Amino acid sequence: MPAAEVMSASSIHAAIIMDGNGRWASRRGLPRAAGHRAGAAAVRRAVEAAPDLGISTLTLYAFSEGNWSRPAREVSALMKLLGRYLTEETARCIANGVRLQAIGRRDRLPPRLVALLEESERKTAAGTRLVLRLALDYSSRKSILDAARRISGEVTEESLSALIGPDVDLLIRTSGEQRLSDFLLWECAYAEFVFTPRMWPDFTAKDLAQAVAEFHARDRRFGAVTARTA
């Protein structure tokens, strides 16, 4: 079942750039890996809170294409953490109706991680309460380019969107940075952005609720004029 089939007309596709793990750890005199482990706990909090906030699809920027340039030790720790997350959280996802999907490249990920990922996708396929999309070895520009190459015949917005993915309603970035960093560029064409100075490991269900409340308070016009702005 595609993510779009799970969503209702009033549901929200939220996406989060989970930023600040390393800085969170450094400020506490801890290794960067400790920040990533704390970030994994924040992922659990967000996933558990999302459905009750009207979020039916949650896309998390877990590992970008650019992250390969980080020190090999940190990359290795991240890959192991991702594998541990899949091992520990798959049963929880099944119990809570969460369907896990991955976007991005898989050919450069460790084979064991790919196997765990595919197993989790298979086991959680029946989930309808929340679609949890993990962006791994992900580049939005590459995603758009790959989609364009796969289209035979005329390239249209509809044909590209069908291959790239669902539109984002709410984009959240933590740690005070205010840029997209090659994340869901096409899908965020009309997304509402919420930037918070809070580091990702400190991000709570209350923070997510506040972002959703801010989203609902905004006047989404999509280029048109509404009664609120006329």
Distances in whole angstroms, Cα of residue 85 to Cα of each of 5, 14, 64, 140, 202: 26, 21, 17, 24, 18
Give the position of tokens 């991680």.
Answer: 113
Domain annotation covers residue 33: yes
Domain annotation covers residue 223: no
Domain annotation covers residue 227: no
**Percent of residues, the chain, with pLDDT higher than 90:** 89
Spatial contact of 56 and 12, defined as CB atoms under 8 Å apart:
yes
pLDDT range class, residue 135, cuts 50, 70, 90 = very high
Q: What is the CATH number of the domain that holds 136?
A: 3.40.1180.10
pLDDT range class, residue 224, cuts 50, 70, 90 = low
Query: Letter for the amino acid at 84?
Result: R
Which residues are catalytically annotated?
19, 67
Domain annotation covers residue 187: yes
Distance CA 67, CA 207 (A): 26
Per-residue model confidence (pLDDT) at position 152: 86
DSSP 8-state secondary structure symbol assigned to residue 41? H
Backbone dihedral region for residue 153 (phi beyond 0: left; psi -120 to 50: alpha; all else: beta): left
Domain annotation covers residue 134: yes
Per-residue model confidence (pLDDT) at position 209: 98
Per-residue model confidence (pLDDT) at position 9: 40
Domain count, the chain: 1
Per-residue model confidence (pLDDT) at position 187: 98
Give the position of tokens 């899908």.
Answer: 187
Domain annotation covers residue 228: no
Per-residue model confidence (pLDDT) at position 153: 85
Q: What is the average pLDDT across 111-137?
A: 98
Domain annotation covers residue 136: yes
Within the chain, strands assigned E span 12-17, 55-64, 98-103, 130-138, 170-173, 192-195
What residues make up the domain containing 138? 3-217
Per-residue model confidence (pLDDT) at position 225: 59
Domain annotation covers residue 11: yes
CA-closest candidate to residue 9, choices 46, 49, 56: 56
Q: pTM (2 decimals)?
A: 0.91
Per-residue pLDDT for 190 more than 90? yes
